Structure 1
């Protein structure tokens, strides 16, 4: 199971939001590249980067910061936020991003996502962000009437790499990952699922890793790392051990 340390970008700074609220941002640093290298030094081979401003604007707003991260980080960078058109996708892959996470466009223009998944094999991740079981878009500012499972099924045969499931009500609050909902989604779809939102410690990593064989591909963690509640090296080791017992 992959552990993705997260770098969320707002005005070029490293931040974490509470429940996706841009007005509830905690700043953890003003050098995203240095943060990426710290994660690499701890053993991370994968990184999850989000352009928060881009998610709301519908286009990249922290491009320079992302470029520097991709250039410096020795592993794989997964990027989300404001990816709405083919030129966005082509541009980021040309820059060296490994996978792109698409959320709002997946709901509003599913054919675009299917076309991109077909063109860029194993490169597109569909974000299924949930608030009370319904899909949220536009940087989580809007909640649709589409249930999470229905959204996931739309892309089962589309060639997407995986689903990224976030329980918005837990994101950035250290309440613990919504493991039951994550597993339910993984069991209802043939696509691998990445868990996100609320990770508070090694217990979350351990339990999720035990279910890797059921389709849990990875877990994203942010605030727990920044607050010192979770040691990245220990999390990476736990993920490897737990998967081995699954």
Structure 2
């Protein structure tokens, strides 16, 4: 199971939100590239970035910070937030991203996801963010009547590289991930599922790995606050 350290970008800074609320942002650093290098130096295999402003605006906003990270690290990087057309997908992949994450458009324009996955094999993931099993879009500001598992199943034959499943109510709350819901989703589809939201202890990582079906986990606040030591976590997952 791969651990993805998260760098959430708001106004060019590294932040963490509480349950997706932009008004409840904690700033953890003003130099995203330095933070990315620190994660790389600790041994991470991937980095997970989110353009929070972009998720609300519908287009890239923190591009300078993302490009700075891409020019600083050698590990593969995935990015979500404000990526809603083929031109933006192509732009980011040409800039050096290893994977783009499509969230809002997976609900509003699933054909775009299919076209992107076919055009850029292995480089397109779907972000499914849910409250009580129902998908939310546009930076989690819009709630839908779309069931998370039903949405995931739509892309079974699309060639999607991964699904990033976020339980919004757990995100940034340091209360542990929603393992039952994440495991159920992972068992419902053949696409690799990455857990996000609430991953805050080594026990959380152990429990996610123990399911045998969850391909990865994303953690942010716990790494910044020291609740999870990245080197220790990576060693644990590699046993």
Using the size of structure 1 for normalisation, the TM-score is: 0.96
Q: Does 2:27 align with 1:32?
A: no
Give 1:237 shift.
1.1
Q: Does 2:77 align with 1:45?
A: no
What corresponds to 1:81 in structure 2? 81
Q: Find the aligned partners of 2:19 and 2:121 in 1 and give their Cα distance.
A: 32
Q: Find the aligned partners of 2:116 and 2:101 in 1 and give their Cα distance.
A: 11
What corresponds to 1:7 in structure 2? 7
Give 1:200 shift.
1.2
Q: Find the aligned partners of 2:45 and 2:73 in 1 and give their Cα distance.
A: 9
Q: Find the aligned partners of 1:16 and 1:162 in 2 and give their Cα distance.
A: 23
Q: Helix, strand or coil: the match of 1:164?
A: strand
Once the two structures are superposed, the pairs formed by residues 1-246 of structure 1 within 5 Å of their partners are 1-212=1-212, 214=213, 216-241=214-239
Q: Find the aligned partners of 1:71 and 1:65 in 2 and give their Cα distance.
A: 10
Question: Contact 1:45/1:74 (CA < 8 Å) preserved in 2?
Answer: no
Q: Flag structure 1 segments of 5+ consecutive residues without an equivalent.
A: 242-246
Give 1:131 shift.
0.6
Q: Find the aligned partners of 1:217 and 1:72 in 2 and give their Cα distance.
A: 26
Deviations 1:17-40 (A, max 9, x none): 000000000000100000000001
Q: Helix, strand or coil: the match of 1:27?
A: strand
Q: Find the aligned partners of 1:120 and 1:235 in 2 and give their Cα distance.
A: 31
Question: Contact 1:102/1:126 (CA < 8 Å) preserved in 2?
Answer: yes
Q: Flag structure 2 segments of 5+ consecutive residues without an equivalent.
A: none
Q: Helix, strand or coil: the match of 1:50?
A: strand
Q: Helix, strand or coil: the match of 1:135?
A: strand
Question: Contact 1:149/1:188 (CA < 8 Å) preserved in 2?
Answer: yes
Give 1:211 shift.
2.6
Q: Helix, strand or coil: the match of 1:156?
A: coil
Give 1:149 shift.
0.8
Q: Find the aligned partners of 2:31 and 2:196 in 1 and give their Cα distance.
A: 23
Using the size of structure 2 for normalisation, the TM-score is: 0.99
Q: Helix, strand or coil: the match of 2:215?
A: strand
Give 1:163 shift.
0.6
Q: Helix, strand or coil: the match of 2:238?
A: helix
